[in-house]
Amino acid sequence: MGSALRIGVMGAGAIGCYVGGCLAAEGADVVFVGRERTKKELEASGLVLSDLHGNTGRVVSKDRIGVFTKASALADCDVVLCCVKSAQTAEVGAELAEVLAPGTIVASLQNGVRNADVLRESLGKHIVLGGIVGFNVVSKGAGTLRRATSGPLVLERAFDDPRIDALVALLAAARLDPSLVADIRPLQYSKLVMNLNNAAGALSDRPTVELLSVEGYRRILRAVMAEALAVLRAAKIPTGRLGPLPTRMLPFLLGLPAPLFRVLASAQIKIDPSARSSMWEDISKNRPTEVDYLNGEIVRAAAECGARAPLNERIVELVHEAERAQRGSPALSPEALWSALNE
């Protein structure tokens, strides 16, 4: 493909390596910043990317990949994709502020609703765009990554800038289904509501497909999402639509009888059996999770508008208990999870 745009990935993990890798596989100029272990892994194996749509064999060979461990490697980038977990955003924002030229575009490809604002606090001389990765990526080790669900990649069109259009053209050529929206907030809240599933995946140790196929887990997801949507309504925070159905319809979808649910859910999102939330991966690897930025965001919104979110509050507690226990997922059955949520 080739392009004058130099793209940096800050945080070479599942999303950074997948999105950056798809761009690099199409010939874009991409430079990755990650940890020493990732640098070693990518320099030994390169990247091998596949997706549930049957695209296989997208490869970035190890001699074509530039991986560094310091943000200074991104100094001459036109666009930087911020792909770290939410707890690391402030630190990374400060690192980028030290090295990026004023006016560089920094796009947050993170979950949660605050990361772009956190970046803006350090990157006042730069252009920060909110973004949403609507699909799941599973890391299989040795540079092998699989996109395991359908879903768009959305960026905020903060204002007209030819670099934003050039980035979108590269993302489209890399088959990442990009779109630009003037107001990203409602879609960020839609993604937040969908991400409330992540904790159930982490606490149950079930892949997403299994979680959705077991009625007892669907009942939990439905209750947690319905609570969140009621809080957002009370707080006058609108949601949007990240698939054919508006987000406010998701509890209704989850409550349908199984055969009808299967048909309508597959129109909403395609899910590969390998799909697992990144919160599941964090719990399995005994790492801190993003639960405070997902279910915790609903708890905060409730507190701010005088509402309550007891199910989401319990989810936050249960995930923190699992983090503290350092024994991976507690693998709760639907019955055990339901009763833990209602204790």
Write out the residues near ligand NAP by the rule CB under 6 A. 11, 13-16, 33-35, 38, 83-86, 88, 91-92, 95, 109-111, 133, 136-137, 278, 290
Q: Which residue minimizes CB distance to ligand NAP?
A: 13
What is the crossing angle of helices 197-204 and 310-325, to 10°? 40
Inter-residue contact 317 to 323 (CB < 8 Å): no
Partners of 131 in the β-ladder:
155
Min. distance of Cβ 126 from ligand NAP in angstroms? 17
Min. distance of Cβ 157 from ligand NAP in angstroms? 20
Min. distance of Cβ 76 from ligand NAP in angstroms? 18
Calculate the alpha carbon distances from 11 to 18, 39, 127 in Å.
Answer: 11, 11, 19
Cα dihedral across residues 113, 195, 111, 156: positive or negative: negative
Q: Which is nearer to ligand NAP, 115 or 239 (CB)?
A: 115
Calculate the alpha carbon distances from 86 to 26, 99, 113, 267, 292 in Å.
Answer: 28, 21, 10, 30, 9
Min. distance of Cβ 96 from ligand NAP in angstroms? 9
CA–CA–CA angle 254, 311, 313 (5° rounding): 140
- What are the φ and ψ backbone dihedral angles of 159, each rounded to 5 degrees? -165, 175
Q: Which is nearer to ligand NAP, 136 or 334 (CB)?
A: 136
Whole-number Å distance between alpha carbons of 182 and 137: 26
Whole-number Å distance between alpha carbons of 193 and 242: 11
Antiparallel, parallel or unpaired: β 144-147 and 47-51: parallel
Min. distance of Cβ 290 from ligand NAP in angstroms? 5
Min. distance of Cβ 242 from ligand NAP in angstroms? 11
Q: Which is nearer to ligand NAP, 3 or 329 (CB)?
A: 329
Residue 192 has which token pair?
């937040």
Q: Which is nearer to ligand NAP, 161 or 210 (CB)?
A: 210
Residue 23's contacts (CB-CB under 8 Å, 6 or more residues apart) are 7, 30, 170, 171, 174
Q: Which is nearer to ligand NAP, 108 or 334 (CB)?
A: 108
Min. distance of Cβ 317 from ligand NAP in angstroms? 20
Min. distance of Cβ 111 from ligand NAP in angstroms? 3
Residue located via tokens 């999303």: 15
Q: Which is nearer to ligand NAP, 10 or 334 (CB)?
A: 10
Whole-number Å distance between alpha carbons of 77 and 23: 14
Q: Which is nearer to ligand NAP, 116 or 220 (CB)?
A: 116
Q: Which is nearer to ligand NAP, 112 or 330 (CB)?
A: 112
